[in-house]
Every structure is written in C-alpha cells, then in structure tokens.
Chains A and B, each alone.
Chain A
C-alpha cells in the first residue's frame, strides 16, 4: 500500500450493540494475541494486529461480500479456507494467514484475475497506487500459467462520458466495489453488473455514466482497486507526493478532504481531492462539488491584482496592495467624516473562515466604531438563529449527522438534501433503507419523495408560504390526540409558556381541517404525519431554507422547536432539530459575531458586561445599539445615510432579492470594496477590488451545520500574495486600528478567550481530535455532540420555551395579474450564485437555470418543454427556459439562481421575515408567458 494512502482495515467496524457496547473477544492471529469487539471480521482483527491479509474485493468502507477469494485463511479446528472478510471472530479462535496451501490458493486467484488484465503497469495511471499490483506482489505471483491470449475483455470500449473520471473496462476485475459503493455509500444504485460469470461487466445505466443516474460523487472511483475508474486529473498528473487534510468549502456538511498533491509546496499540482475517512461529517464520502469541482481555484478568471477606480463607470486600474488598502481606508474615513460614523459597514461571508469573519466584525466594531456588520446568513438562516435561540436557548442545531443512524422517524421540511447537502442525504437514505420512516414537507416532489429504494411515507405537498399552517396543524393533532411527552414537558419546559401554547394550538382554527384550504394539504395526511412523528420512536427534524426564507421564517423555526419539545424529541441521539446550513460556514459566521446586534457567541451588544469584555481586549469603546442588517444597509444607501461598504466573499447583486433595489443601492454608495476571487456582479458597483483567496489557499477553521469546527489547511499559497485575514488586518491598520496576529491560530486563541462557548477550542486540540463541536469549554473539554441532554442551560432556569405560532398568510398571494407562486432553490451540480461551480465542468450537468412549471400551467400558456418563457413579478421580469414537470404542483413554479443571466432574483421581492429580515425567496407571486425568443439582457427589467 502506498504510504500516503489512508489506512484500510479491510472491513468496517462492527455495529455496536443496542446498549452501545460490543463485548471484547480475544483470539490469536499468526500467534499474535488480539482483542477486538465482537462482530469484528477476522480480516479487520488481523489488520488491527498488524497482519495484512491479501484482498481485492474488501475495503473498510463497504460491507464484506467475500467474492474475490484472495483473503482466505486457515482456522484451527475448522475445515476449508474461509474468507477472512466475512468470517467473524470468536473467542479463543486461532487463525493462520500464511501457509504454503494459502499461498498456492491466492496465487491461483491472482493468476486468473491477471489473465484478463492488460499488463501495462509501467504506463498505467495507477502505477504505484494499484491494489491489484500490490496483491500480485503480496502473493508472490511470478507467472500467469494460463497465458494472456485467451478470452478477455481488453478490447471493450472505454466510457469517457463523465467529465471528471473515465471508465476502462479492460482493467476491470469485477470486484463489485464500485457497485457496492454506489449502493451503500451514495444510495444512487446507478452502477450494476450486467451478465454472469466471465461475461459479467460493470455498467452505468443503459448507455454511459453521463446518461445514467450517476451523480458523480466519486465513491466508485475512490474504491476502485485498479485504474478502471480513475480521475482525469490523476491520469494527467504524476504520482502523489504529499497529502494535506482540509475541509470542503461548499455546503454546510463540512466534509473532510485529502488534497493529494504533486510538485513543490509553493506551486503544487492537485492530483485529486479525495474524501477523508477521518472527516467526522462525511466519513470518507463526498459529492460532485467537493470531490471534483475545485478547478475554479485556478481558473483564468481569478483576479490576483488589487484594483481601484474613482467611479463605477471607469475602467479598473491595477495598483499595489498598499495603494488599494490606503485608498479604501481613506475613502471610508472620508465618508465617516462627512456623513457620520454610521455611514459605513461590512458584509462578512459564510464562505470565509471563522477567523476571517471574526476579523471583519472586529474591524467594523473597533475600527469603524459601529455595529454595521452583517453576515450573508442574514439571507438564509438568520431565522434559525432567532427561532432556536428563543425556544431552546442556543442558535444552533442539536445533533451530529451521525445521530440520524438512531432515528426512527425522519421529517424533512423545506430542504432538498439530495441537491444541497448530498453527503448527508446519503446518510439519510441509508437510514431510510434500513427501516426508518420518512415524512417530507415540501411544495415540490424532491428526490427523497421517491428515490431508489427510498419512498417517503408521507409527502405533505403544501403551498409555498404555508409552513406555519402545517406545523401548527401538526401540533394541534399531537396536543388534541394526547400524543405529547408529558413527562419531558413537565421536567424540561416552562410551565406557563407551555400552557399558553397548548391552549393556542388546541383551538379548532388550528386543526388540519381548518388549515387545509390555506395549505393545500389534506387533513388526513397531516393527522397521519403527526401521529407518525409523535409515536414512531426517535423522531428527528431536518429543515432548510424552505423553512427560513419566508415572511414567517422565524415562526416556522419556532414551530419546529415546539414540536420537538412537545414530543420529547430532544437531548439524545436520533432526535432533535437540525438546520441544514446552505454554505460551508453559515454556522461559524453567525457564531463569530457576524450579526449587527450580537458580539461573538450570540451575546447582545446591549449587554454591558459582554461589551466590557471586548472593550478591554480590543482597547476601544463599543456601541451598545444594533447596527444595520444587509437589507437595511441597502435601504439606508438609498436615503443617503449609508455610503461605504466592505463586502468580503459575498455577491449581493446576484444572491439577494429584488436585485433592482440592491443594484440601485450599491450604485448610490461612494465606496464599495469587494474582496473576492472573481469580478462578480457586485464588483460591477465596486470602487476597490481586493483579490480574495480560495479555500485551498486558506488556513483557518469552518464550522458546519452540526457545530463542528474543522481545520482548513493551506494547500497552495494565496495566488494574490496575501491571505484574506492578512488583507483585513492590513485594511484595519490603514484605518488606524492595527491588529497583530502572526497566524490564524492566534485569532482563534482570541476568540476562545472572549467567547465562553469556544473557550476550549484551539488549533492544538483540533490537530489532536480532528474536529470539535461547540460548546467546547471546561464543562465539555472535547466538545458537545448532542445539545440539551439534561436541560436547556442557555435558557432562564434551564427550561425550554414554547411560543405561539399564529399562521399569517404571506403578502405574496396569487392574483389575477400574478397567478402563480414562484419558489426558488438549488440543484446538485451548481452552488449558490455559481461563481465557483460555473467555472468547472459541472456545467456539463447543469448549464442554465430553468423554470419548472406543471404540465397543466404550461398547457394553459402554450408552453412546451425547453421553450423560452418570461417570468414577471411586481419586482421585475426576466427570461429563461421552461422545464415542464410534475415535480411542481399546479399553481407553483420553481427555479434556481445559479446563473446571473437568468436573474431569478430580479423577480424575488423585498418581502422578508418579521423577526430577522431574512428575504422571502420562497414565495413570489408571478406570471409566466411564452416567448418566441429571448430578449437581449439589456432589455430585461431592471
């Protein structure tokens, strides 16, 4: 085995018993005594004892099948030669892994295998990294007696349809690892074996990988023991010289990755990115984005020189870092002198590290002297922060991803994990295949409703904007049918708030029957789902932006917390309330004081003791009143009271709603500083452009949706010469407030000193333990996997708080002029505004945003699949192609916002969540009409 490869123990660790303990057994392997948990395979026990048993079909991320017959062993007292991968250990067992007979058997197996394999090792891309090659050496094969001229598969055609990996059937040994990985790990069932015996071949779909159900997660490629399935980048590059472990920068799952590198540290070639088995969030699995779509980091569109211009109509002028930073600082100070201290602010990014976000909010508070800092989480999960904070006391999800393995009922609300959180979706599907029940609440028939070997027990296909109606109706059933966990409520929750809530939801106006007309969900379905959730055992709720991005987003989050408390589904594995965060560091950007009303650790700026703590550390006086939120910044820009913005790693001119309004606001500002990888849409309105760094150029940490803090490690130097944290530090110094950090670890040390929930976090501990879930402090020195185990410590008296959730219809209602409701979302292959994924081969999977429209609505408008259509709301109008599909219900249309040219957010409005101002992306009244041709972009409105 290549020394740079991850250790492979051959078979997975055994499942723990119901009580979590697998009793240890003692056995001897080649005379070595080894103690392992019961259920361990002989192969794994041998590996743990340092004894390598040859194998081809076994790998520790897949269940053993005993197909290749290479791992045969002898067991004292037993006849024959059992496969060590499928034979469980027994107490007192004596195993022999080496003997003349075993050697002969293994050589026979290898001879047969190699008789149908091209012996082109020296020119093979897997040379030196090939398990077949390793095994031939391990068994001492010196000749192939059968010859190489018999029947074989060497002339079979390759499948190079996938942009990221190739399939060469000539090299395939039909070990079925790829088939099993697609089934067990990914759950797509896209690969199978056609034919039997010698004729058996691996096939994807009816024709090719690209045309199949394959989602390009790369699991099959990773487990392939030969070069049959291999990354194109690995074929093009040399061998791997070193590995850097880091964390993916796409969604909020936060997968651990191994950057496998060739070449010098200052200019490495990435051979491939492989998911790390040490990654606690992903356990060696990945999706198409993290696994393959990292080429944007070195895309030709990267801007690596600072630039400035006086007016946004002027051309850019490349300048030195020093000049750019002095110019930006000078402009911010001029604006503050002329228009007041509060006329400037900043947006921090959920794509940046904790350390970078912390520095930007520190710059705003200490150097600008105001609280005008907001995170782009404003426009996605700010209602989660509010809703969970108010009810459970902590603005974060309650579980680990691993918790889902203990769930009996899974409720997915307003989330499409198959597209937006694919690695978690695979875990979810695995649990459902194992017997858990599934409830989906979504306006669309997302893939979880009916996926291979996964079918939802209930799909409550509600109308957009009616989450609160359905959630309150679920609570009504639980309360009125006596399905509550009375003991949990009595012991763990506030009495009075519970009584108020109980009386409210029990009213007949909140019954499923009364709310069915508004929600469009038949009452019987709601009742059945409520009964299942409340009585089906461990019940876990997973939700996404389909909950938060509504005028009642915070109310819906509160309603979810109410359900979990009422049924006692909190404080242990298998249950809980789990927000699926859209971007890699949504949780962290909120934790780090990214909101304008909170200092790091969710402590309100009005709290004098907290302010004093930061004032002492930062040597400044801090303002006690909240700053502007992102939408407020734009409103204030249009009234002239906000004129300068430092925007790091965000693109509000594409991602924020009512783009016409956003662009007018940006154009009204006097100094917009954009720090990004590319000249994005917002940069069109910028006066200063500061080159940003990709995750491959960063040192720092991300915090994922399970509160897991993981290290991001530098794979290559920043292309522009400065890391993002260094740029913020230099800008602060230019503003007259120097910061002095030598490494991001020192920033984390400061965060830990000032933030009680992070008190025990440090890079040394992260190195030692791999990752940490906050709270991490003296009470929980190694972190907190499951929240609220014994109570709600952040709530007064440690009691959970119920809150009344009155359904209020959205202002966005279908009308004669705008008779359809638009809801927006994401697809698997693209990510957010697409700045990264549009610059990769993921375009092969999804090359444009399309408008999903039901056949009935399409027929009424004369729209056929693929037609250009106009999409118009009270905010604006745009054009894109139609996809006629029954995934959406009649009266509802759906699109994504990955491509600026389709302009989905031209159409979305300024309607927002009552508590947090999170935009109501998910409900916009629109009209759709057929177009004979697309108009030029300039003709579109605005």
Chain B
C-alpha cells in the first residue's frame, strides 16, 4: 500500500500520543493503536518500506512503537 500515506497515518497516531507525559507508555499506546486498528498488510507494507528505503519520514515515537509490534 502507498507508503507515503502509511507514514502519514502512522505519524498522526504518533502525534497524538507524543503529547502524553509518560514516554514509555506513549510508545506502547502507539504500538497498541496500530496493532488494534491496522490490517496486517498495512503494517507489513510499512515495515517493508522501512527495510527497503529506511525510516525517513517516520517520527521517533512511531519508529520506537513499530519496533515493539510483534513480527
């Protein structure tokens, strides 16, 4: 799926939780939100994009969250 759109969607999720005071909790909340609302191919395609093109454009909190998602 369109990686530009996936990156934007992920960053917006990250943008909401980044305002939370507990950073660890916020990273977990981003990961949880993606896991609970994204269809697996969306996560798969975003990861594939990161493997092939790096994580440019993804916010720090989203990168940290994606690392927590089960493979």
CB-based contact B15/A626 at 8 Å: no
Residues of B within 8 A of A551 (CB): 12
CB-based contact B1/A625 at 8 Å: no
Give chain A interface residues in 746-782, CB to chain B under 8 Å.
none
CB-based contact B12/A504 at 8 Å: no
Contact of B33 with A by CB under 8 A: yes
Q: How many of chain B's residues touch chain A, expressed as a range?
A: 20 to 34
The A interface is mostly helix, strand or loop, or mixed, namely loop
Taken together as a complex, chains A and B put the C-alpha atoms of A315 and B48 apart, in Å, by 41
Give chain A interface residues in 894-942, CB to chain B under 8 Å.
910, 912, 914-917
Residues of B within 8 A of A806 (CB): 15-16, 18-19
CB-based contact A597/B41 at 8 Å: no
Least CB distance, A756 to chain B, in whole angstroms: 20
Least CB distance, B51 to chain A, in whole angstroms: 17
Chain B's closest residue to A555 (CB) is: B16
CB-based contact B15/A636 at 8 Å: no
Contact of A239 with B by CB under 8 A: no
Contact of A835 with B by CB under 8 A: no
CB-based contact B40/A915 at 8 Å: no
**Segment of A324-332, A627-635, A676-684 engaged in the interface with chain B:** A627-635
CB-based contact B1/A597 at 8 Å: no
Least CB distance, B13 to chain A, in whole angstroms: 5
Contact of B37 with A by CB under 8 A: yes
Residues of A within 8 A of B5 (CB): 635, 910
User: Contacts A636-B1, A638-B2, A917-B9 given: A597-B37 contact, CB under 8 Å?
Assistant: yes
CB-based contact A626/B19 at 8 Å: no
User: Contacts A914-B13, A917-B9 given: A639-B1 contact, CB under 8 Å?
Assistant: yes
Residues of A within 8 A of B33 (CB): 915
CB-based contact B42/A804 at 8 Å: no
Chain A's closest residue to B41 (CB) is: A641
Residues of B within 8 A of A910 (CB): 5
Taken together as a complex, chains A and B put the C-alpha atoms of A503 and B22 apart, in Å, by 13
CB-based contact A632/B21 at 8 Å: no
Contact of A504 among B1, B19, B40 (CB under 8 A): B19
CB-based contact A500/B21 at 8 Å: yes
Residues of B within 8 A of A604 (CB): 36
Give chain B interface residues in 11-54, CB to chain A under 8 Å.
12-13, 15-16, 18-21, 33, 35-42, 45
Residues of A within 8 A of B9 (CB): 912, 914, 917
Taken together as a complex, chains A and B put the C-alpha atoms of A597 and B39 apart, in Å, by 9
CB-based contact A626/B16 at 8 Å: no
Taken together as a complex, chains A and B put the C-alpha atoms of A629 and B21 apart, in Å, by 30
CB-based contact A804/B20 at 8 Å: yes
Contact of A596 with B by CB under 8 A: yes
Least CB distance, A336 to chain B, in whole angstroms: 15
Chain B's closest residue to A805 (CB) is: B19
Taken together as a complex, chains A and B put the C-alpha atoms of A554 and B37 apart, in Å, by 14
CB-based contact A804/B38 at 8 Å: no
Chain B's closest residue to A554 (CB) is: B16
Residues of B within 8 A of A808 (CB): 12, 15-16
User: Contacts A635-B1, A636-B41, A804-B19 given: A626-B36 contact, CB under 8 Å?
Assistant: yes
Residues of A within 8 A of B36 (CB): 597, 604, 606, 626
Contact of A90 with B by CB under 8 A: no
Contact of A485 with B by CB under 8 A: no
CB-based contact B1/A915 at 8 Å: no
Contact of A342 with B by CB under 8 A: yes
The B interface is mostly helix, strand or loop, or mixed, namely helix
Residues of B within 8 A of A606 (CB): 35-36
Residues of A within 8 A of B12 (CB): 551, 808, 914
Chain B's closest residue to A372 (CB) is: B39
Residues of B within 8 A of A632 (CB): 1, 39, 42
Least CB distance, B9 to chain A, in whole angstroms: 7
Residues of A within 8 A of B16 (CB): 554-555, 806, 808, 914-915
Least CB distance, A293 to chain B, in whole angstroms: 37
User: Contacts A635-B1, A639-B1 given: A628-B39 contact, CB under 8 Å?
Assistant: yes
CB-based contact B39/A625 at 8 Å: yes
Chain B's closest residue to A596 (CB) is: B39
Taken together as a complex, chains A and B put the C-alpha atoms of A500 and B20 apart, in Å, by 8
Residues of B within 8 A of A626 (CB): 36-39
Chain B's closest residue to A595 (CB) is: B37
Give chain A interface residues in 604-639, CB to chain B under 8 Å.
604, 606, 625-629, 632, 635-636, 638-639
Q: Which of A500, A604, A627 has the most CB of B within 10 A?
A: A500
Least CB distance, A759 to chain B, in whole angstroms: 25
Taken together as a complex, chains A and B put the C-alpha atoms of A627 and B20 apart, in Å, by 28
CB-based contact B39/A915 at 8 Å: no
Residues of A within 8 A of B18 (CB): 806
Chain A's closest residue to B40 (CB) is: A625
Least CB distance, A377 to chain B, in whole angstroms: 15
Chain B's closest residue to A551 (CB) is: B12
User: Contacts A597-B36, A804-B20 given: A639-B2 contact, CB under 8 Å?
Assistant: yes
Q: Which of B9, B16, B18 has the most CB of A within 10 A?
A: B16
Least CB distance, B11 to chain A, in whole angstroms: 9
Residues of A within 8 A of B39 (CB): 342, 371-372, 596, 625-629, 632, 636
Taken together as a complex, chains A and B put the C-alpha atoms of A628 and B39 apart, in Å, by 5
Chain A's closest residue to B13 (CB) is: A914
User: Contacts A551-B12, A636-B1 given: A915-B19 contact, CB under 8 Å?
Assistant: no
Least CB distance, A343 to chain B, in whole angstroms: 10
Chain B's closest residue to A386 (CB) is: B37
Taken together as a complex, chains A and B put the C-alpha atoms of A625 and B1 apart, in Å, by 18
Residues of B within 8 A of A638 (CB): 2
CB-based contact A915/B13 at 8 Å: yes
Chain B's closest residue to A637 (CB) is: B1
Least CB distance, B48 to chain A, in whole angstroms: 11
Taken together as a complex, chains A and B put the C-alpha atoms of A758 and B2 apart, in Å, by 39
Chain B's closest residue to A499 (CB) is: B21
Chain B's closest residue to A917 (CB) is: B9
Chain A residues with CB under 8 Å of chain B are 342, 371-372, 500, 503-504, 551, 554-555, 596-597, 604, 606, 625-629, 632, 635-636, 638-639, 641, 804-806, 808, 910, 912, 914-917
Interchain residue pairs with CB less than 8 A apart (18): A342-B39, A504-B21, A551-B12, A596-B39, A597-B37, A606-B35, A627-B39, A632-B1, A635-B2, A636-B1, A641-B1, A641-B41, A806-B18, A808-B12, A914-B15, A915-B16, A915-B37, A917-B9
Apart from A596-B39, A641-B1: 8 A-B pairs, beta carbons within 8 A: A342-B39, A342-B41, A597-B37, A606-B35, A629-B39, A914-B9, A914-B13, A914-B15
Q: Which 5 A-B pairs have the closest CB atoms?
A: A914-B12, A806-B19, A628-B39, A635-B1, A804-B19
